[in-house]
Chain A
Amino acid sequence: MRQVWRYVLAVVSVAAALFITSALEQYTDITPLFYAAIVVSAWFGGRGPGLLAVVLSELAIDYYLVEPYYSLGLGPKPISFLVVFGLLALLTSWMSTRRRSAEEALREARDELEMRVQERTAELRQANETLRERANLLDLTHDTVFVRDMNDVIMFWNRGAEERYGWSREEAIGQVSHVINKTAFPAPLSEIKAELTRTGRWEGELLHTRRDGSVVTVASRWALQRDEHGNPVAVLETNNDITERKRAEEALQKVQTELAHVSRVMTLGELTASIAHEVNQPLAAIVTNGNATLRWLGGVTPNFAEARQAVERIIKDSYRASAVISRIRTLVKKTPPRNDLVDLNELIVEVFALAQNEARRNRVFLKQQLKHDLPQVRGDRVQLQQVILNLIINGLEAIAKNKNGAPRELSIRSESDDADNVVIAVSDSGEGLDTANLERVFDAFFTTKPDGMGMGLAISRTIIESHGGKLWATANSPHGAVFQFTLPTGAESAS
């Protein structure tokens, strides 16, 4: 349809040109209005209508406007005129069409550009929206999330962090994170940073101090962000408050250790206290009855009946005291030493978990160097656990007392020697032992602690010796002491 109208336009415009030119013949040239008609037709109609307009103009001029009038016949002069007109008309039509299509192309290009711009704007808005939603999500989480640069200066601080630590976003950003949080690390910071650089991640428990001075334990996860060249640029730190869980765990652990303690390895000290009470009661009754007997017999008129009853009670109480002792003896006999296959590395890891709180409290780093494929030993798991725990706690207490400025480190090493023995060594950087005391510390009731019973090492040595091993102490260099024990491997003792 449009196609047809374009050609109609060519016809109409040429007709109009013819009409006006005929009407104004004496005032004007013949051609200008026909050029105009051709331009209009080519412009609005395109190439086809343009050419039609050229042909129609040619015919119209030939027929109506040059001699001979009203005939298509031509004299030589009008022919050259018409040829020149025709050529110029064709040129005009072509230029008009070209110009038109160039403009068309330009407009299309512009339109497309505009569309692209709109698309991009929409995409950008979407991206911004998503980003804002994600940032809001970071604010929603209970976890503390913050981002710090490679100098530990805080760049981002979510609402969780504001609530957890009491510092607002404005206050926190720009501060050094470990300073504002007074972070206590489970290992030297240099080691943590080395791991972060190596693997891009770090996980561990940290102690943070809030604005109000209270301390929280957090499970901390660090992730390293790198730029396109692989250079580290920032660290994302996510912290999860585990203070309550920690407290519950500690309480549970305490109960468990106590239970294990009471049910399996009642220390000699506790046993003596218990025996003392059980035996002391009948003894006190015997003494009192003895005194009463003397008084019943000693008066002016001795009362033999009362004296006899008192003596009978003395005999009864003596039997009672004796029964207490034999009951304890059977109790001890009834507990056969257990003979499990024990993986000492596994045991050390368990004991480390138990000692971790104590270590953190004393600001001591625990280190372990465990030999792979350590042979198993035969023995009583709980007793051996008690020995290792005892050595570690002793070490921690020694370090806690030390004022020599040595690194506060306690390390435990496992290895096997040439003689098929497993060797476990606990080294501390504490105040160390006098050479004179290296052996005496294993004596019962020998202690260097103000509140110590002096039983721990004596019992430990008894346990190790009952397992066929040895326990001894040496000086650590440059500071502290090393307590080590050997145990024959499972293969050896089984044979």
Chain B
Amino acid sequence: MNNDAAAIVFVIDDDESIREALKSLIRSVGLSVETFASAQEFLQSKRPDVPACLILDVRMPGLSGLDLQRDLSETNIYIPIIFITGHGDIPMSVRAMKAGAIEFLTKPFRDQDLLDAIQQALERDRHARSEQADSADLRNRYESLTPRETEVFGLVVKGLLNKQIALQLGTSEITVKLHRRQVMEKMQADSLADLVRKSEKLPQKGT
């Protein structure tokens, strides 16, 4: 768990004893913990931009755990959730799992089950974050292209030859070649195949 130093586990439970116990257990395996007494308190907090997961009590006064799960997904805030509950029923757990929860644990739970779920949740968040970072990086590079380079990029990944592109854009083959080299460099693509793959990962292509 060497690379976990930056990760953080959020705990939301209205019962202070449970909060304190969870905090101690999670700290004992070397993870950082932050606790909240209510969903509102969590929403108002300023959260660091690091891999994280949420341990959430289902039944709480005010906004319940399931309500918070829905609100987060509606506002496009992605954070893996582990539910804990005093008296869980099957329909409730099905609902939570369908909405993307990592795990649904009934109190009192085995500590190893919780710690495994936390590992899984952090792993998932890390993966999601890197995916997101990659796609943001790609997007930035794509946006650094000049308008003419963007046009050339679109036509190249369509499979057109330099000659055809030159004809279509009303310019010389030499100019197209120069633009094409610029595009390959800016998009950090080492082959045409790589460039095509990257163009597919872009949320919207410039064609």
Chain A residues packing against B (C-beta within 8 Å) = 273, 276-277, 280-289, 291-292, 295-296, 299, 303, 306, 309-310, 313, 316-317, 320
Contacts and interface: CB of A to CB of B under 8 A. Distances in A.
A282 B111 CA distance: 16
B17 interface: yes
Interface stretch (B2-10, B24-32, B149-157, B179-187): B24-32
Given A280-B107, A283-B108, A288-B111, A306 B24 contact: yes
Nearest to A303: B28
Contact of A292 (B21, B86, B107): B21
A291 B87 contact: no
Contacts of B24: 288-289, 292, 296, 306, 309-310, 313
B87 A288 contact: no
A313 B21 contact: yes
B18 A285 contact: yes
Nearest to B59: A277
17 contacts: A280-B108, A281-B18, A283-B108, A284-B21, A284-B107, A284-B109, A285-B15, A285-B17, A288-B108, A289-B20, A289-B24, A292-B111, A295-B25, A310-B24, A313-B24, A317-B17, A320-B17
Nearest to B21: A288
Contacts of A277: 86-87
A470 B189 CA distance: 89
A295 B108 CA distance: 17
> What are the 8 A-B residue pairs with the smallest beta carbon separation, nearest first?
A284-B107, A291-B111, A288-B21, A285-B17, A295-B28, A287-B108, A292-B25, A284-B108
A289 B28 CA distance: 11
A98 B164 CA distance: 143
Contact of A276 (B21, B25, B87): B87
B15 A288 contact: no
A291 B21 CA distance: 9
Interface in B100-119: 107-109, 111
Contacts of B87: 273, 276-277, 280
B22 interface: yes
Given A284-B86, A285-B20, 10 more contacts: A277-B87, A280-B86, A280-B108, A281-B17, A284-B21, A284-B107, A284-B109, A287-B109, A313-B21, A317-B17
Contacts of A282: 17
Contact of A284 (B18, B27, B28, B29): B18
A295 B28 CA distance: 6
Nearest to A321: B17
Nearest to A273: B87
Interface string B73-112: 0000000000000110000000000000000000111010
B41 to A, nearest CB: 19
Contact of A288 (B18, B27, B29): B18
Contacts of B86: 276-277, 280-281, 284
A313 B16 CA distance: 11
Contact of B22 (A276, A280, A286, A288): A288
A306 B28 contact: yes
Interface residues of B, number: 17
Nearest to B30: A299
Contacts of A283: 107-108
Contacts of A309: 24
A277 B59 CA distance: 11
A313 B29 CA distance: 19
Nearest to A288: B21
Given A292-B28, A296-B28, A313 B107 contact: no
Nearest to A320: B17
Give the most central of A287, A288, A295, A316: most B CB within 10 Å.
Answer: A288
Contacts of B25: 288-289, 291-292, 295
Nearest to A299: B28
B179 to A, nearest CB: 60
B73 to A, nearest CB: 27
Contacts of B27: 306
Give the most central of B20, B22, B109: most A CB within 10 Å.
Answer: B20
B108 A313 contact: no
A319 to B, nearest CB: 11
A287 B86 CA distance: 13
A291 B28 CA distance: 10
A303 to B, nearest CB: 8
A148 B137 CA distance: 86
A299 B27 CA distance: 12
B20 A295 contact: no
Nearest to A309: B24
Nearest to A278: B86
A306 B21 CA distance: 11
Contacts of B15: 281, 285
A277 B20 CA distance: 18
A231 to B, nearest CB: 65
A313 B111 contact: no
Given A277-B86, A280-B107, A285 B21 contact: yes
A281 B107 contact: yes
Nearest to B20: A313
A292 B108 CA distance: 13
A171 B29 CA distance: 82
